[in-house]
Amino acid sequence: MIEQMLAPRGVAVVGASQNPTKLGYGVARNLVVSGYKGSIHFVNPSGGRLFDLPMHKDLESVPDPVDLAMIIIPAAAVPGALEACGRRGIHSAIIGSGGFRETGPEGLALEQRCLEIARAHDLRLLGPNCIGFLDTHLPIDTTFLPLPGPIQGDIAFLSHSGAICEAVIDWARGQGFGLSRLISLGNQLDLTEAELLPTIVDDPNTQVVAMYLEGVRDGARFVEQARRATRLKPVLAIKVGRSAQGQAAVASHTGALAGRDVAYDAAFRKAGVIRGESTEEVFDWARALAWCRLPEGPRTAVLTNAGGPGAIAADALDAVGLQLATLSEATRAALREFLPKAASVRNPIDMLAAAGPFEYANGLTALLADEGVDSVMVIMAPPPMTTAAGIAGAIIPLIRSSNKPVVVSLMGEEMIANAARIFRQARVPEYRFPERAASALRVLVRRAEQLQTPLGEPEAPGGTDQAAARKVLAAQPSMDHGFLEGQQAAQVLAAYGIQVPETALAVTAEQAEAAARHLAGPVALKVASPDIVHKSDVGGVLLEVMPGEPVRRGFKSIVEAARQAHPEAEVQGVLVQPMAPRGQDVIIGVVRDPQFGPLVMFGSGGIEVEGLRDVAFALAPLSRSEAEELLETTWAGRKLAGFRSLPPADRQAVVEVILRMGQLMVDLPEVAEVEVNPLRVLPEGQGALALDARLRRSV
């Protein structure tokens, strides 16, 4: 049905107008001007003619075929129009009208009424508060945007904002690239980006999908559909709303660091969606992905007519994680044959200001032939002795016939304008400065790596006991904040196969001393209170305490400090644990994001986790490769391999704990968040110990 909406046999414009200042006129005009070959019908109770076509007084009088209604009338009248669509047998409608949820509770109620009608008549809706869609290949244009529309191209654009659509169309024309389809999603009352993605990706005229997102309606479905889509074609996104303002405060480090934007980053990574920092960056990438072959690796050669731009390119490539290719002696010898002696034949290749079409063509030929070069950046400051357009004409055939990607940095504006047009017409991506060209090359490498990396399937670890964990959760009394006392949290972790130290709860100093003597060595003392989450902050932790009088003094010190800091807290006593063996400390936490579900955090542990912010996030359930990636993207994870005086730690034990904590949250929806800080990682092969755990149930 979605494809029927996007490629209808006939369209009825409900609210078509003869008044050129009305949106209904704009929709009618664009539909006619687009060259749409299907049936076009205009509906307006006033009757008359528009663009030499009759204006029908109602939908019932519109002849077949009609697969799609574009509704552009006042919001209050939209439910009646949807009822008419249902009676007429139309199963797709675009609500271009505004005045719905964006206006407040009354508008939201009106939206719900529209959805009820649509469901009753098996009617799919795009919008409301959207501008419709267009397809430059069908062709069809159901929008009311000003003409001219976009150039025919191979980049599809889905947007939550109609104004962004208008700006992108005009900007794309100016930048010389075209669109295949453009879809304005509006309020997403019915159809969402997740539902539309499969159809967009299956479109043979689309090579790249770009999205402007303000949020997603169904996080799990978005990840599922995008994960499939990105294996077929690149999907890029600009997601606005990075601020954590409005995020509900939570008590754990994990919750404090897991803002909504972090969840979107994790969702995009899991789905393979490549996120850009700006709209311009996304379309820079889209052009490169649509027009270039993918490279074999990150080794880049730079060909330029000036030293300064070459130095900028070298820095830019390093900044995005690419590397300057080391040229072979044969390549350097080939370059020396036609370049002046003063030219540099080491990468970046500075051919000097006099370089013209001959030098650029021969230089590019030599670089593309070098087996140590994966891609080439050609930089052209306005040449003083020739024209940039002449150079463009000389190198475009080489670029188009090469199996390696080439991007161009045309530095300047007016003096390189003709060359820019020539490159664009030849579908060679060009950028004003080397930094943007380097970013485009990086996304090509990233896409190649993405396709070379198989999708890891979530791994459910064995040896877990849901029933035992639920028994512990059910046995605890309900509290406003939902936190369990530390010993009970440890029991839940143990049910999921996570090692916890032997722990005794002492309610008196004498019991603490007895527990310490039983453990036969120095101990750790920790306040036992479900109301005190950050124990160290209130003097609630003592380490390396010897049995006997030191334990009794420590017990009293901890209890007094806790009661002084939190007079209202329930202090149940003190936990006594053996001192853990030496190792590296990390933090692992999981919170339940309202949009995407369990969100796992890994990073540097201890009391400074929020200050250090050496953390990474991923959505659960995780594959083993995703857990490994969490380690690779943090210093805490990388130094598990050993660093200076630190011996290697049990990295695989950490991966196992990550998988188990993620699975715990998947299995137990009644848990809102769980955190282990620190997880003491012992030497290789010796495992890891959850030294302190906190767990909060949903309240």
- Return d(Cα 257, Cα 526) in angstroms, integer: 25
Q: Which residue, among 600, 629, 602, 605, has the nearest Cα to 615 in the 3D structure? A: 602
Sign of CA dihedral 189, 191, 194, 195: positive
Q: Which pLDDT does position 226 carry in this prediction? A: 97
User: For residue 681, what are its two tokens?
Assistant: 């990682």
Q: Which pLDDT does position 260 carry in this prediction? A: 72
Q: Which residue, among 653, 665, 651, 556, has the nearest Cα to 619 in the 3D structure? A: 665
Q: Which pLDDT does position 506 carry in this prediction? A: 93
Q: Which residue, among 644, 637, 648, 699, has the nearest Cα to 670 in the 3D structure? A: 699
- Torsion angle defined by CA atoms of residues 317, 323, 329 and 334, in that order, rounded to the nearest 10 degrees: -30
Q: Which pLDDT does position 471 carry in this prediction? A: 93
Fold exhibited by the domain 584-697: D-amino Acid Aminotransferase; Chain A, domain 1 (3.30.470)
Q: Which pLDDT does position 253 carry in this prediction? A: 46
Fold exhibited by the domain 1-131: Rossmann fold (3.40.50)
Q: Which pLDDT does position 340 carry in this prediction? A: 96
pLDDT digits (tens, 9 = 90+) for 432-471: 999 999 999 999 999 999 999 888 888 889 999 999 999 9
Q: Which pLDDT does position 485 carry in this prediction? A: 75
Q: Which residue, among 224, 211, 229, has the nearest Cα to 267 in the 3D structure? A: 224
User: For residue 391, what are its two tokens?
Assistant: 């150079």
Name the packing angle between helices 388-401 and 417-425 (round to 10°): 20
Mean pLDDT by 10 residues, the chain (699 residues): 93 97 97 97 95 95 96 97 96 95 92 97 96 97 95 96 92 93 95 96 98 91 96 95 48 51 93 95 97 98 97 98 98 97 96 96 98 98 94 98 98 94 96 97 97 87 93 73 80 96 92 92 90 83 92 94 90 92 94 93 79 88 95 95 90 97 96 94 95 86
Measure CA 603 to chain center: 20
CA atoms within 13 A on the CB side of 97: 27
**Unique residue bearing structure tokens 């485009």:** 440
CATH 3.30.1490.20 applies to domain 502-579: yes
Give me the architecture of the 293-452 domain, per CATH.
Answer: 3-Layer(aba) Sandwich (3.40)
Q: Which pLDDT does position 610 carry in this prediction? A: 65
- Return d(Cα 181, Cα 527) in angstroms, integer: 61
Nearby residues of 20 by Cβ (< 8 Å), 6 or more positions away: none
For residue 509, the SS3 value is helix
Locate the domains of the chain by residue range: 1-131, 145-291, 293-452, 502-579, 584-697
Q: Which pLDDT does position 247 carry in this prediction? A: 39
- Return d(Cα 530, Cα 535) in angstroms, integer: 10
Measure CA 18 to chain center: 44
Other C-beta atoms closer than 10 Å to the C-beta of 653 total: 22
Q: Which pLDDT does position 241 carry in this prediction? A: 77
Fold exhibited by the domain 145-291: Rossmann fold (3.40.50)
Q: Which pLDDT does position 699 carry in this prediction? A: 65
For residue 295, the SS3 value is coil
Q: pTM of the prediction?
A: 0.90
Q: Are 631 and 587 in contact (CB under 8 A)?
A: no
Strands (E), 101-231: 124-126, 133-135, 140-141, 152-159, 179-184, 208-213
Sign of CA dihedral 36, 37, 38, 43: positive
Q: Which pLDDT does position 535 carry in this prediction? A: 83
Q: Which residue, among 695, 647, 642, 646, has the nearest Cα to 672 in the 3D structure? A: 695
- Return d(Cα 664, Cα 687) in angstroms, integer: 19
3-state helix, strand, coil in the chain (%, to 5): 40, 20, 40
Name the packing angle between helices 486-495 and 651-667 (round to 10°): 100
**Unique residue bearing structure tokens 């008196």:** 508
Q: Are 545 and 522 in contact (CB under 8 A)?
A: yes
Give the N- to C-terminal CA distance of the chain in Å, as an integer. 41
**Matching fold, domains 145-291 and 584-697:** no
